[in-house]
Structure 1
Amino acid sequence: MTEPRPRQPGAHDRRLQGDVRIVGAGLLGTSIGLALTAKGVDVALADLSPTAVRLAVDYGAGRPASAGDRPALVVVAVPPDVTASTVAAELEAHPEALVTDVASVKGSVLAELRAIGADVSRYLGTHPMAGRERGGPISARADLFVGRPWVLAGHDGISYRAAGAIEDLILDVGAVPIELSVEEHDRAVALISHVPQLVATAMAARLRGASNAAVDLAGQGVRDVTRIASSDPGLWVQILGANAGPVAGILRSLRDDLDEAISALEHPNASGSRRALADLLGAGNAGVARIPGKHGEDRRYAQLIVMVDDTPGQLARLLTEIGELGVNMEDLRLEHSPGAPIGFAEISIVPEAEERLIAELEARGWRIAGAS
């Protein structure tokens, strides 16, 4: 598994040469179009939905594709179950173009292309690790990919050098290119994306039968765990089906951990039960510590919870004053208190700034509800 290229996103002039055709005017396709047109690239948009194309064009993501276009690069941004067939059609229609796709699973696409005899010497799949809970061209953003990892999923039918235009596109939209094999990619996204989606969904499903009183107690914990559970079921059935093997393997290991925890909870006074729970919780601490923070840094931050009156301008005032104090905010999460006109702003900062920030904010009249 390779490390991200050392180039800094945005620290270069436009690199991509030639016209780009984007097939699929949804969130990702339109966002790519917005970022490239801002760089002066001629982008032609195509989609089965004329309305989606018109919307994307109105937002400035490019122009409608025409029969005379001769793109140097084709980006396929369509649902997973039609990605391979669309890539194959674009390879045939544009014999001089390099073709890529942005589907979240790579192995099944490559296998299907090979099975139908497509020219994979001009195809390299990619996967931008970026998105939003909402889809469609109306949700697109030109900065969606800035600073985000974007995987180039290599295979033995094409060299990374031959696919240089794809890396140029990734750099032009501000993302960080990462080279992985197709197999490495699918195993990685099963762990960091696909299984978390199922876990969040399964937890959220438990809330259906909960009492109103229980749901009213919902705090940041359950909100964090279930945040992605509102994703499109139809899309996720396609994704999970295409990456079923790696996902099932991780779920089996997770099931083993849960079975051990269940056994310990069913017999809490048995020898070793508390240690089993402690070991699992400790392993979780070690695992979350490996998740890169801001700018890819592997470090932990202190969390400060500030009470904010639910009136216009209060949150903006808090953020402004933190900036005036010279403290860099690494992350921010908001939570409302049910039935009360206040909210809680959980602010992540470097640990060395925690004590001073608490003192300065309290001196300015802010109420600190907790720190860690």
Structure 2
Amino acid sequence: MPGPVLVRGTGLLGTSVGLGLRAEGVEVLLHDPSPAACGVAQDIGAGTVVDLEDPALAPALVVVAAPPDVTADVVVDSLRRWPRAWVLDVASVKGAVLDAVAEAVSRGRLDDGAPPRFLATHPMAGSERSGPVAARGTLFTAAPWVLCPTSETDPGAVEAGEALARALHADVHRMDAAEHDSSVALISHLPQIAASLVAARLQDAPDASLALAGNGLRDTTRIAASDPQLWVQILSGNAHRLVPVLQGLRDDLARLVEVLEAPSAPGARLGVARLIADGNAGRARIPGKHGAPPQAFALVTVLVDDTPGQLARLFETIGRAGVNVEDMRMDHASGHRVGMVDVSVLPGRRDELVSVLTDAGWKVV
């Protein structure tokens, strides 16, 4: 894709964009209000720090990776500074940014030719960690990257957005901004809130109780480690799309509490069963491996000593058998130096794999 590309904001996303583009041979320029963040991003190879006031600065594309609460201002500033550049943002909420650009035009801060040069986008990738030190050039590989063009958006801006996403090996999707914001409220913002609420219940839990925790609790609360300041901005920016989703969750929770307050009442057990079954049905709709339709895999659980090289040896045995690992997870037995590795395989290969592993001396549960 053509360069230079100016990345404004050197947090997790911006620095990852820089690293990924540099790996593809694209010239990347960096700017961030924080000299420390910008310096770290430059030191790890994400690009070259520049001065925005340099009159020779002429980016072909500006990627705004600023915090959500200032994204719109940085987009407007970029459109004003570089009237020949395409400008796109990578914030989690799209409607607010588009509204801000339209308002800037109406107030005379931008000319009518500015909005067509702007493309609202959102790469659906990230981490519970933040900052440039958490960045990696492969962050967007195989991840959805949503483009939200309007009826005014110049085709050149859309082409630039597609070129950026493909250079970073992302999967390009197109969606209306309102549809996007409603979608992320359900599939991204709601899980974050649920994880944080569950994890908050653990603050005063006895140590003896937490010692019993397994992968279920760890999986459920993993994203509860996310940056509070970032999520204040995201949730506030998408509040009107998120509130109806939370109201539905509140209604379901209220029904469950009512049932459990009288668990022996007629119909109570059916109510609980229906709630769990509804969860089964919803989870079954989540796309499977590589975005394919969901598929049920067979689990093979293997006990593995918690010593160096054991996982490599296990997967070498599986590889020699010619069985593909569709998924894998590992749990540790409390108080013992042993792990339980759950290997997901196609159902038709399960018995064969169990036989191969057993013959090779592995203990299959």
Shorter-chain TM band? over 0.9
Q: How far apart are the structure 2 equivalents of 1:346 and 1:82?
A: 44
Checking the alignment, whether the CA contact within 8 Å between 2:129 and 2:225 is kept in structure 1 is no
Which residue of structure 1 lines up, in the alignment, with residue 59 of structure 2? Answer: 71
Task: Give the AA of the match of 1:284.
Answer: G
Which residue of structure 1 lines up, in the alignment, with residue 130 of structure 2? Answer: 135
Which residue of structure 1 lines up, in the alignment, with residue 307 of structure 2? Answer: 311
Superposed structure 1 runs of 4+ greater than 6 Å apart: none
Checking the alignment, whether the CA contact within 8 Å between 2:116 and 2:152 is kept in structure 1 is yes
Which residue of structure 1 lines up, in the alignment, with residue 179 of structure 2? Answer: 184
Question: 2:4 aligned with 1:19, yes or no?
Answer: yes
Q: How far apart are the structure 2 equivalents of 1:151 and 1:174?
A: 13
How far off is 1:161 after superposition? 5.4
**How many equivalent residue pairs?**
354
Q: Which runs of 5+ in 2 are unaligned?
A: none
Please state whether the residue corresponding to 1:170 is helix, strand or coil: helix
Checking the alignment, whether the CA contact within 8 Å between 2:96 and 2:237 is kept in structure 1 is yes
Which residue of structure 1 lines up, in the alignment, with residue 26 of structure 2? Answer: 41
Checking the alignment, whether the CA contact within 8 Å between 1:289 and 1:300 is kept in structure 2 is no
Please state whether the residue corresponding to 1:208 is helix, strand or coil: coil
Question: 2:209 aligned with 1:214, yes or no?
Answer: yes
Which residue of structure 1 lines up, in the alignment, with residue 228 of structure 2? Answer: 233
Aligned counterpart for 1:103 among listed residues 91, 109, 112: 91
Which residue of structure 2 lines up, in the alignment, with residue 5 of structure 1? Answer: none
Question: 2:108 aligned with 1:120, yes or no?
Answer: no
Moved more, 194-203 or 43-52: 43-52
How far off is 1:24 after superposition? 0.9
Q: Which runs of 5+ in 1 are unaligned?
A: 1-15
Moved more, 202-211 or 117-126: 117-126
How far off is 1:234 after superposition? 0.8
Task: Give the AA of the match of 2:326.
Answer: E
Which residue of structure 2 lines up, in the alignment, with residue 343 of structure 1? Answer: 339
Equivalences for 1:172-321 in 2 at 5 Å?
172-298=167-293, 299-321=295-317
Moved more, 165-174 or 137-146: 137-146
Task: Give the AA of the match of 2:358.
Answer: E
Which residue of structure 2 lines up, in the alignment, with residue 354 of structure 1? Answer: 350
How far off is 1:160 after superposition? 4.8
Q: How far apart are the structure 1 equivalents of 2:242 and 2:297?
A: 30
TM-score (norm 1): 0.91
Moved more, 321-330 or 176-185: 321-330
Please state whether the residue corresponding to 1:131 is helix, strand or coil: coil
Cα-to-partner distance string for 1:61-104 (whole Å, 9 max, x where unaligned): 22222521211110011110010001111111111011001111
Checking the alignment, whether the CA contact within 8 Å between 1:22 and 1:33 is kept in structure 2 is yes
Q: How far apart are the structure 1 equivalents of 2:154 and 2:260?
A: 52
Q: How far apart are the structure 2 equivalents of 1:149 and 1:289?
A: 20
Task: Give the AA of the match of 2:207.
Answer: N
How far off is 1:140 after superposition? 1.5
Please state whether the residue corresponding to 1:51 is helix, strand or coil: helix
Moved more, 313-322 or 267-276: 267-276
Please state whether the residue corresponding to 2:330 is helix, strand or coil: strand
Q: How far apart are the structure 1 equivalents of 2:343 and 2:124?
A: 24
Please state whether the residue corresponding to 1:209 is helix, strand or coil: coil
Aligned counterpart for 1:153 among listed residues 148, 152, 174: 148
Q: How far apart are the structure 1 equivalents of 2:101 and 2:80?
A: 12
Checking the alignment, whether the CA contact within 8 Å between 2:87 and 2:157 is kept in structure 1 is no
Q: Please provide the CA RMSD for this pair.
A: 1.5
Q: How far apart are the structure 2 equivalents of 1:220 and 1:242?
A: 32
Q: Residues 95 and 110 of structure 1: is their aligned pair in 2 closer, same or farther, counting only changes over 3 Å?
A: same
How far off is 1:332 after superposition? 2.0
Which residue of structure 2 lines up, in the alignment, with residue 169 of structure 1? Answer: 164
Checking the alignment, whether the CA contact within 8 Å between 1:98 and 1:163 is kept in structure 2 is no
